[in-house]
Amino acid sequence: MKHVIEPLDLSLEETTRLLDLADDIAEHPRKYEQVCKGKKLATLFYEPSTRTRLSFEAAMLNLGGSVLGFSSADSSSASKGESVADTIRVVSGYADICAMRHPKEGAPLVASRFSRIPVINAGDGGHQHPTQTLTDMMTIRRKKGRLTDLTIGLCGDLKFGRTVHSLIKSLSRYENIKFILISPNELKVPDYIIKEVLQSKQIPFQEVERLEEVIGELDILYMTRVQRERFFNEEDYIRLKDSYILDGAKMALAKEDMYVLHPLPRVNEIAVEVDSDPRAAYFDQAQYGVYVRMALIMMLLGLDQG
């Protein structure tokens, strides 16, 4: 039995196989309508989510399976003090596979150690978000045709953004990748990512504060919001939240085939005028998330062998 707690839990070969399957699902969805008939997905969401929870549910329903679960800790026995270990022991008897989001880093990993069913980490604190990373990779591959030979710009909150950390780790396994890290000094990529991933693998990277200076070099621009819930005080959030706003003027400086990704939800870091630009890929990206989660559910249940 396999769990996916972080993106590197899948080998390069498994990642390619998953993305190939997700592509086929996108092109031929009706082929997969009954693959998970009789199977149940438990969605254990200890913190609020719209896209991730609904896309997991849509994924399982699209495969002909069913869904059970909760959408906040307040509506579960966690409010009574039940541990993650006890919850997953019980849920293992109710469902065939589980997606868990938790505000505490490492909670899905703990769950996986006590679970009798595959556990998918749907986001744990500021740590990992593997299915978002796989969605990002599918988007890049469909838009650019490759996951190699790319200059990737990551912009906004690079300190607390779990999607950023996961994406750096995943793309660092591909050849000729360069990262340009665009953030205020207070929200720079954590030192451990710089040292353990970028420097240890000798991956070229550059840290800058102004998006305008580097947007013309990018193949992909990955925008993130400055998340209020990751700040310890309101003053810092208010001071930094408008640091980076992508608008038409900045897009005019970018390559014609530079695509903009965003894990959503956005607040105001991407102006609405950018939505009509053919390089805006973030709504396609949200749709691809359903196909990626369908493929992952199939793989973890051993239903992808044809």
Kindly list the catalytic residues: 51-52, 80, 101, 129
Distance from C-alpha of 129 to C-alpha of 266, rounded to nearest angstrom: 17
Residue 244, token pair as written in the block: 């980076």
Distance from C-alpha of 78 to C-alpha of 103, rounded to nearest angstrom: 13
For residue 144, which amino acid is it?
K
8 Å CB contact between 148 and 176: yes
Distance from C-alpha of 149 to C-alpha of 67, rounded to nearest angstrom: 40
Concatenated DSSP letters of 115-161: -SS-EEEEEETTTB-HHHHHHHHHHHHHHHS-SSSEEEEEES--SS-
244 sits in which H/E element: none
Burial class (CB in 10 A: 0-12, 13-18, 19+), 58: middle
Distance from C-alpha of 138 to C-alpha of 147, rounded to nearest angstrom: 9
What b/e sequence results for 100-127 when a residue is b if at least 16 CB atoms lie within 10 Å of its CB, and e otherwise? bbbeeeebbbbbbeebebbbbbbbbbbb
8 Å CB contact between 127 and 164: no
Paired strand residues for 45: 101
Residue 303, token pair as written in the block: 């239903």
Residue 230, token pair as written in the block: 């990751």
